[in-house]
Structure 1
Amino acid sequence: MQQKIYQIDAFADRVFTGNPAAVCPLQEWLPDSLLQEIAMENNLSETVFYVKEGDRYQIRWFTPRVEVDLCGHATLAAAFVLFTFEKHAGSHIHFYSSRSGDLTVSKRADQLTLDFPADPVREIPVSDGIRECFDLPPVKAFAGKSDYLLVYDTEAAIQNLQPHFERIAALPARGIIVTAKGKQVDFVSRFFAPGAGINEDPVTGSAHTTLAPYWSAQLGKPALQAAQLSSRKGLLHCRHEGNRVAISGTAKLYMMGNLFLGE
């Protein structure tokens, strides 16, 4: 059995930047165990699978270890594949996730825009468990649907922060977003999810469903420029729209081919 696969650098203006994702267009769903094995073999932060269903696409995302509720960069990568290589007509794609509901991606020139549900946060105490996750304690801590959000004073603090992965993995969350006001952009961030098999994610679209509402309220404006300060770097354009967040970026093809899955 052969299975088509693409590897796309998402939120990137050239290859070797942004966040790589594997994209597998399926005719029908394969067993969950096989989907997880493919993601483990790919060993990227996310492998995304989709199946066409009428005028929309069912979509699922897997890390090398688990299936996740939402992934922004892999959804952007899947849309790039559909628009560029899989003959999707028009400039709008409707994805549906049983875990996250309706998700859409629109295209304007080479810019792709995700329309995702916002994830507002509530402030929580900076507990010892949170404080011990990094070499520098945050100024404030918040909890969202899946992640903790830790706020720091400066961009330099985010850039130089040293994570303790075992302690992060022990927390009852998908991962931790760390953030501060930016120098050249509105805000910067990094994202750590060792419990899901991703020590540090290069660029995390889903984290910006938490970041955009927070910084929109802090800065008093809906449109925001963001940078994720991983070693690969990523630039995102965000707009907070009530209970939704628009997240825009570009993508580049790195590789395409076939998987050989046996009989």
Structure 2
Amino acid sequence: MKKIKLYQIDAFTDRVFGGNPAAVCVLDAWLPNETMQQIAAENNLAETAFVVPKGEKYEITWFTPTVEVDLCGHATLAAAHVLFQYGSHTSSTITFLSRRSGVLTVEKNGDALTLDFPADVLEPAETPEALITALGKAPQETYQGKTDYLLIYTSQADVEAFNPDIALINTVPARGIIVSAPGDEVDFVSRFFCPQVGIPEDPVTGSAHTSLTPYWSKRLGKKTMTARQLSKRQGALQCEFLDDRVKITGKAVTYLKGEIEV
């Protein structure tokens, strides 16, 4: 049996039971993918991040309960929170190395953490009929990025009102579906449905904001914006568009510290 420290962190929030929960396992060396997938399934959270120190940097990967994913913002934020709070990392910046998404950094500024991620490239797209049926309303605009569809609606009320047919969304070939609109009290709001990777609705999705930030920056003519993800748990983010990169800032709090045996 191998004992592994496990943390559960609520990301993109300043309170427990808000934001998006992620598990973080800090390892001495990589476990087999099958074992990491089993741990993520046992945790049954949207994401479990696995981190391995490599010199002064850290290799990172992410698993949902069903698959390994290319990029996860909230679990990266959670992993940085763990390393800053409970690890031996002393500088204000952490560099993560992802085999699927390259170099990712997280900077600590007070109690806020800022992700530096590659910006998504969006192309106008036809709206799949299954999405119009599943959501019950056609969008104003539709775009397709590297892994997700982005659907733009008129108002925050539209986004709040969706009660989609998750089984029908699951038939669309994409990692997930972002729905977004101008916010009443923030620059833009969103929700994220991703049954394709085992999560009907993700509470707060950092990686979705690599698509949302370029879109809203160009539409609003602003580099820095405030955002809210309108899941039941809610999440608050500040986003900055830097051409081929985006900076996504949020807070994180610890819910659980423990140890697992595998």
TM-score range, shorter chain: over 0.9
Instruction: Tell me whether 1:62 sits opposite 2:63 in the alignment.
Output: yes
Q: Shift of the alpha carbon at 1:6?
A: 0.2
Which moves more between the two structures, 133-142 or 150-159?
133-142
- TM-score of the two chains, using structure 1 as the length reference: 0.98
Q: Detail structure 1 runs of 4+ shifted over 4 Å in the superposition.
A: none
Equivalent position of 1:260 in the other structure: 261
User: What is the one-letter code of the residue matched to 1:162?
Assistant: N
Equivalent position of 2:155 in the other structure: 154
For residues 23 and 65 of structure 1, the distance between their equivalents in structure 2, rounded to whole angstroms, comes to: 16
- Per-residue CA deviation, residues 53-81 of structure 1 (Å, 9 max, x unaligned), is 11211100000000000000000000000
- Written as runs of structure 1 = structure 2, the 5 A alignment for 1:212-223 is 212-223=213-224
Equivalent position of 1:10 in the other structure: 11
**Secondary structure at 2:135 match in 1:** coil
User: What is the one-letter code of the residue matched to 1:188?
Assistant: V
CA contact (8 A) 2:193 2:200 kept: yes
Equivalent position of 1:27 in the other structure: 28
Equivalent position of 2:75 in the other structure: 74
User: What is the one-letter code of the residue matched to 1:168?
Assistant: I
- Per-residue CA deviation, residues 84-138 of structure 1 (Å, 9 max, x unaligned), is 0012111000001010000000001111000000002111122313312212221
Equivalent position of 2:198 in the other structure: 197
CA contact (8 A) 1:120 1:214 kept: no
- Per-residue CA deviation, residues 34-61 of structure 1 (Å, 9 max, x unaligned), is 0000000000000000101112111000
For residues 214 and 121 of structure 2, the distance between their equivalents in structure 1, rounded to whole angstroms, comes to: 6
CA contact (8 A) 2:128 2:172 kept: no
- Per-residue CA deviation, residues 197-242 of structure 1 (Å, 9 max, x unaligned), is 0000000000000000000000001000000000000000000001
Equivalent position of 1:185 in the other structure: 186
- TM-score of the two chains, using structure 2 as the length reference: 0.98
CA contact (8 A) 1:190 1:228 kept: yes
Q: Shift of the alpha carbon at 1:156?
A: 0.2
Q: Shift of the alpha carbon at 1:168?
A: 1.1
For residues 140 and 134 of structure 2, the distance between their equivalents in structure 1, rounded to whole angstroms, comes to: 14
**Secondary structure at 1:132 match in 2:** helix
CA contact (8 A) 1:134 1:163 kept: yes
Q: Specify every segment of 5 or more residues in structure 2 that has no aligned partner in the other structure, as ranges.
A: none
Which moves more between the two structures, 163-172 or 217-226?
163-172
User: What is the one-letter code of the residue matched to 1:56?
Assistant: K
**Secondary structure at 2:134 match in 1:** coil
Instruction: Tell me whether 1:110 sits opposite 2:91 in the alignment.
Output: no
**Secondary structure at 1:179 match in 2:** strand
**CA root-mean-square deviation:** 0.7
Q: Shift of the alpha carbon at 1:252?
A: 0.2
Q: Specify every segment of 5 or more residues in structure 1 that has no aligned partner in the other structure, as ranges.
A: none
- Per-residue CA deviation, residues 162-183 of structure 1 (Å, 9 max, x unaligned), is 2111111111100000000001
CA contact (8 A) 1:240 1:246 kept: yes
For residues 27 and 84 of structure 2, the distance between their equivalents in structure 1, rounded to whole angstroms, comes to: 16
Equivalent position of 2:46 in the other structure: 45
